[in-house]
Chain A
Amino acid sequence: MKFAIIGNGVAGINAARTLARSKPKATIDIYAEEPYPYYPRPRLLHLLAGEIQQEELYLYPKEWYEKRGIAVHLASKVMRIDPQRQQLALADGRQATYERLLLAMGSSPIRPPIKGLDRAEAFTLRSLDDALALSERARETQRAAVIGGGLLGLEAARALRELGLQVTVVELLPRLLPKQLDEEGSPILEKWIGALGIEVLLGSAVQEISRKGSAHHLTLKDGGSLEADLLLICAGATPNVQVAEEAGIEVQRGIVVDEYMRTSLPNIYAAGDVAQFEGRVYGIIPVALEQSRVASLNMSGQESVRYQGTLPATTLKVTRVDLTSIGVIEPRGEGYQELRKADEKKGVYKKLVLKEGRVVGAILLGDKKSAAPVSRLIMSEIEVSAYLDRLLDEDFDLKTLL
């Protein structure tokens, strides 16, 4: 069997290793757009902060691939898929064939439609090249503006702060981490972020970006303004669907897959940030891992495995700030119950979302020790109705329920 994987990120690498294990004699080719071997994207933030060197990013030595019979083609962007002939056209003119194909080309940073942004020298942070360019510039400047107060925006702000820059985060919505935190929790996180010396402007839309000498001048919609030497855009990502779309594969926001991770065309599968399952593009690592595992087992033809969805869980990786969000954090619809506990002084905010006596989601800020038991509580779907008044007590040991 001849397998091809487009994309060398978490989904691609995990699929390759799963395929190599279930079909040791198969040919496995990975086509990577970037010139670098696999590296974990979360580590780019440590590179940016100067905590690790570029060489430390690479986790798989050459022998790792050789041992498993995986061929990695670096700097080999796939320009076209020919689904009839089962062929790929690469940027340098080469052709390649496949019997089963996995689309795992990930996503790209979104550049919001802000006036003047196209002319401004603005950085994004997705690839190693992005991180290298950003880090070089960061070392020459004093003031940074980060547009976007999501996970990446805050983690990047922390890294820039670590380098000694003055950092301002500008978020369109009136709160931080709109996907991981709710209205009540945001002010508590703001205090944590403020304590790191990072300034946060919430509910601030950037109207226009212009030049002022060597600096960027940001005009805000509320009339305020801001100057920065370095501008970083962390406004989300969009799936890299173009090549799939041109091949006639069904695409909505992402590449549409069924529960077997099959796309609309035969022998072509998709997984990770590029895939859309039941209307949803997740864009997080645990999902990429699970989807690529399911896809590769089905591709190998030895098993028929269904993707059951992944409990979305994220952890903010900012030094000294512990925040984990799992599952449903802002329920919409009937039948939900919410338990909350806030201690502004200690910087603690905890929230559990319950349905039919079971925990289905949680926000845990400033409480590291509950993250693991709560996530097990959610996954095991244990009935907790009898403990509602005690669940969030500090001295209540959640592990006794498991």
Chain B
Amino acid sequence: MEKWECLVCGYIYDPAEGDSEGGIPPGTPFEELPDDWVCPECGAAKEMFEKLEE
């Protein structure tokens, strides 16, 4: 699954890890995060994320 990077603070969302703080279980793809999910580091909205090119 693809990782996504927050263009505001550089936080990387890794689907394998999920986001325990935001109540997102491991294995959740970025596309399936709720619309009101925000970057756990800086609070930026989902639209501030871009797909990481591996």
Contact = CB atoms under 8 A, between A and B. Distances in A.
Q: Do A and B come from one complex?
A: yes
Interface of A: 10, 13-14, 40, 42-43, 46, 57, 59-60, 285-286, 289, 313, 315, 317, 368-369, 371-373, 376, 399
Interface of B: 5, 7-10, 20-23, 36, 40-45, 48
A259 to B, nearest CB: 21
A27 to B, nearest CB: 22
B20 A285 contact: no
A254 to B, nearest CB: 20
Contact of A368 (B10, B21, B36): B21
A372 B9 contact: no
Contact of B42 (A286, A368, A371): A286
Contact of B7 (A60, A368, A372): A60
A369 B44 contact: no
Contacts of A372: 21-23, 40
SS of B interface (majority): loop
Nearest to A58: B10
A399 B24 CA distance: 13
Given A285-B43, A286-B42, A286-B43, A371 B10 contact: no
B10 A285 contact: no
Contacts of B21: 368-369, 371-372
A40 B8 contact: yes
Given A289-B43, A289-B44, A399 B7 contact: no
B20 A369 contact: yes
Contacts of A14: 8, 48
Nearest to B42: A285
Contacts of B23: 369, 372-373, 399
Contact of B8 (A57, A289, A317, A368): A289
B18 to A, nearest CB: 12
- For the complex of A and B, the 6 pairs showing the least CB-CB separation, nearest first, are A286-B43, A285-B42, A372-B22, A40-B9, A43-B10, A40-B10
B41 A42 contact: yes
Contacts of B36: 376
6 contacts: A286-B43, A315-B41, A369-B20, A369-B21, A372-B21, A373-B23
Contacts of B45: 289
Given A42-B10, A57-B10, A376-B36, 8 more contacts: A10-B8, A14-B8, A42-B9, A59-B10, A286-B43, A315-B41, A368-B21, A369-B21
Which of B20, B21, B48 has its CB near the most chain A CB atoms (within 10 A)? Answer: B21
Contact of A59 (B5, B22, B40, B43): B5
B40 A285 contact: no
B43 A317 contact: no
A372 B41 CA distance: 12
A314 to B, nearest CB: 9
Contacts of A285: 8-9, 42-44
Contacts of B20: 368-369
A46 B9 CA distance: 11
A57 to B, nearest CB: 8
A289 B9 CA distance: 11
